[in-house]
C-alpha cells in the first residue's frame, strides 16, 4: 500500500498526505467508484460480444475542462469501497462474462488497485487487466503496476503545451504522457490477440480529436508512429461531446468535430502509413458514450 504521505501517483506530484489532505485530484486514501458494469463502447478488441468489465473510479488527476464524465471527475460522485470489496467487484464482472477488467481513471488509486488485484487473483481472477488512464501517470505509478496490467489504454491528448495548460491545467502533459506510454510499452510489449480477436496484451493509445485542433492531432499521430510504428494500436476518436458548461469560458470547444476535420486527421494517418488503428464512424457525439454513474444507488 502507498505510504500515508508524499503522493506522487500523477505528474502533478502534489506530495500530499492523502489521509488528512486533498491534493489536485481531491481523492482520499479511500477508493470511490461511480460505476462497475459490462461496457460495450470500447474498442472492438476490448468489448467483444460480452463487454468490457469497466470500473469507473471517482476523482481525476487531470480534470479536463471538457470532460464528458464530469459527474465523477469534477463532482466526485461515487461510493466508497474497501480493497476487499473492489476485489469482489472484479470477480463479479468476471462471472458476468467480461472479457477483461477495465480500470477507468485509476491513477490516483494505484496502490489500492494493486492490493485488490492481489486479493482477487487468489480467488480466481484470470482475465486480462486493462489500465485506462489520461496518460498523466507518473513513472512511479506505472512502475508499481508491473506484472499487474496486461493492456495499457492511455490517452495522448496534446502535443501543444498551450492547449494542455488551457484545457487540462497541465503544461507538462506531452512529455509526461510520452514517458508514461514508453514505460507501459516496455512492460507489456507488442499486441497479442486470442483466437477470437480479443486483445490479451499490448498498448492502445487513444487520441480524442478536438474541434479546431487537427494540427495538434497530426503531431500526436506522427510522434507515436515515428516511435512505435505498428508495435502499438492507435485509437483515433471523433466522439468529442461539447458539454453545457464549456460554451461560456471555452467557446472554441462549443461544437462537435466536423466530418471534414476528422477525415483530414484520418487521411494524415494513412499518409504516415499507420495501419494498426481504430477509427469511429458516423456522428458518435450523438450516441450514448456517457454511462450512468449510479454505483451504490441500486445495491
Cβ proximity of 194 and 179 under 8 Å: no
Rounded Cα distance, 11 and 178, in Å: 12
pLDDT digits (tens, 9 = 90+) for 188-202: 999 999 999 999 999
Q: Please tell me the predicted confidence (pLDDT) of residue 27.
A: 87
Tell me the β-bridge partners of 91.
none
Mean pLDDT of 216-242: 97
Find, among 67, 57, 204, 60, the residue nearest to 130 by Cα: 204
pLDDT digits (tens, 9 = 90+) for 94-104: 999 999 999 99
C-alpha distances (whole Å) from 197 to each of 96, 133, 190 are: 20, 23, 15
Cβ proximity of 171 and 62 under 8 Å: no
Mean pLDDT of the chain: 91
SS3 128: coil
Find, among 224, 52, 249, the residue nearest to 151 by Cα: 52
The three-state (H, E, C) secondary structure of 217-233, written as one string: HHHHHHHHHHHHCCCCE
Rounded Cα distance, 168 and 105, in Å: 15
Look-up of cell digits 496518460: 135
Cβ proximity of 263 and 218 under 8 Å: no
Cell numbers for 98, please give them. 467480461
Phi-psi region at 45: left, alpha or beta (left = phi > 0; alpha = psi -120 to 50): alpha
Helices H, strands E: what count in the chain?
A: 10, 10
Binned at pLDDT 50, 70 and 90, residue 4 comes out as: very low
Cβ proximity of 76 and 63 under 8 Å: no
Cβ proximity of 27 and 108 under 8 Å: yes
Residue 241 neighbours by CB under 8 Å, 6+ apart: 68, 256, 285, 289, 290
The percentage of residues in the chain with a pLDDT greater than 70, rounded to a whole number, is: 90
Q: Please tell me the predicted confidence (pLDDT) of residue 32.
A: 93
Cell numbers for 141, please give them. 505509478
Report whether pLDDT(259) > 70. yes
Q: Which residue has the higher pLDDT, 157 or 67?
A: 157
For residue 241, count other CB atoms closer than 10 A to its CB.
17
Q: Please tell me the predicted confidence (pLDDT) of residue 266.
A: 97
Helix-helix angle 83-95:110-122, to 10 degrees: 60
pLDDT digits (tens, 9 = 90+) for 36-87: 999 999 999 999 999 999 999 999 989 899 998 766 665 667 899 999 999 9
On whether the pTM is more than 0.85, the answer is yes
For residue 6, count other CB atoms closer than 10 A to its CB.
12
DSSP state of 284: G
Q: Please tell me the predicted confidence (pLDDT) of residue 76.
A: 64
Binned at pLDDT 50, 70 and 90, residue 20 comes out as: confident
Amino acid at each position: 500500500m502507498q505510504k500515508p504521505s508524499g503522493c506522487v501517483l500523477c505528474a502533478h506530484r502534489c506530495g500530499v498526505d492523502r489521509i488528512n489532505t486533498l491534493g489536485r485530484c481531491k481523492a482520499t486514501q479511500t477508493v470511490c467508484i461511480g460505476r462497475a458494469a459490462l461496457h460495450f463502447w470500447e474498442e472492438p478488441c476490448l468489448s467483444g460480444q460480452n463487454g468490457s468489465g469497466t470500473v469507473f473510479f471517482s476523482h481525476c488527476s487531470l480534470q479536463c475542462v471538457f470532460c464528458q464524465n464530469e459527474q465523477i471527475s469534477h463532482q466526485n460522485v461515487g461510493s466508497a469501497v474497501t480493497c476487499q470489496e473492489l476485489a469482489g467487484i472484479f470477480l463479479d464482472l468476471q462471472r458476468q462474462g467480461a472479457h477483461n477488467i477495465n480500470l477507468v481513471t485509476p491513477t490516483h488509486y494505484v496502490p489500492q488497485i494493486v492490493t485488490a488485484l492481489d486479493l482477487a487473483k487468489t480467488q480466481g481472477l484470470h482475465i486480462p487487466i486493462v489500465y485506462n488512464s489520461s496518460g498523466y501517470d507518473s513513472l512511479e505509478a506505472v512502475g508499481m503496476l508491473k506484472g499487474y496490467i496486461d493492456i495499457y489504454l492511455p490517452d495522448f491528448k496534446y502535443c501543444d503545451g498551450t492547449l494542455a495548460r488551457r484545457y487540462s491545467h497541465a503544461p507538462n502533459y506531452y512529455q509526461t504522457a510520452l514517458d508514461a506510454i514508453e514505460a507501459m510499452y516496455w512492460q507489456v510489449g507488442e499486441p497479442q490477440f486470442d483466437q477470437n480477436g480479443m486483445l490479451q496484451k499490448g498498448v492502445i493509445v487513444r487520441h480524442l480529436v478536438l474541434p479546431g485542433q487537427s494540427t495538434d492531432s497530426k503531431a500526436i499521430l506522427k510522434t507515436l508512429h515515428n516511435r512505435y510504428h505498428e508495435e502499438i494500436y492507435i485509437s483515433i476518436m471523433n466522439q468529442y461531446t461539447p458539454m453545457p458548461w464549456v460554451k461560456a469560458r471555452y467557446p472554441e470547444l462549443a461544437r462537435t468535430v466536423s466530418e471534414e476535420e476528422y477525415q483530414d486527421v484520418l487521411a494524415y494517418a494513412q499518409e504516415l502509413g499507420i495501419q494498426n488503428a481504430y477509427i469511429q464512424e458516423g456522428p458518435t457525439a450523438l450516441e450514448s458514450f456517457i454511462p450512468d454513474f449510479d454505483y451504490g444507488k441500486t445495491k
